[in-house]
Amino acid sequence: MYCHIGREMIAKKNVKPKKETTKEPKETKPKETKPTKSVPITVELDILKILINERPLIPLLRVLKTNKELHTRELLITMGSWGYGQSLMKRATNLGLIDRKIKKEKSRGRGKPRIYNALTNKGREVVKLADRIGYEK
Per the CB < 8 A criterion, the answer to whether 71 and 39 are in contact is no
CB-count burial class (<10 Å; 0-12, 13-18, 19+) for 16:
exposed
Q: Which of 115, 73, 111, 77 is nearest to 93 (CA)?
A: 115
pTM metric for this prediction: 0.63
Q: How many CB atoms lie within 10 A of CB 37?
A: 5
pLDDT tens digits, residue range 13-61? 565 666 666 767 677 777 777 777 776 777 778 888 888 888 889 999 9
Between these two residues, 8 and 125, which has the higher pLDDT value? 125
Q: Average model confidence (pLDDT) for the chain?
A: 80
pLDDT value at position 8? 56
pLDDT at 132 over 60: yes
Q: Which residues pair with 71 in a beta bridge?
A: 116
Q: How many CB atoms lie within 10 A of CB 11?
A: 8
Assigned architecture for domain 57-133: Orthogonal Bundle (1.10)
Most confident of 13-17, 38-42, 116-120, 130-134: 116-120
Between these two residues, 132 and 106, which has the higher pLDDT value? 132
pLDDT at 11 over 60: no
DSSP at 68: S
Per the CB < 8 A criterion, the answer to whether 92 and 103 are in contact is no
CB neighbour burial string for 54-79, b if at least 16 within 10 angstroms, e if fewer? beebbbbbbbbbeeeebbeeebbebb
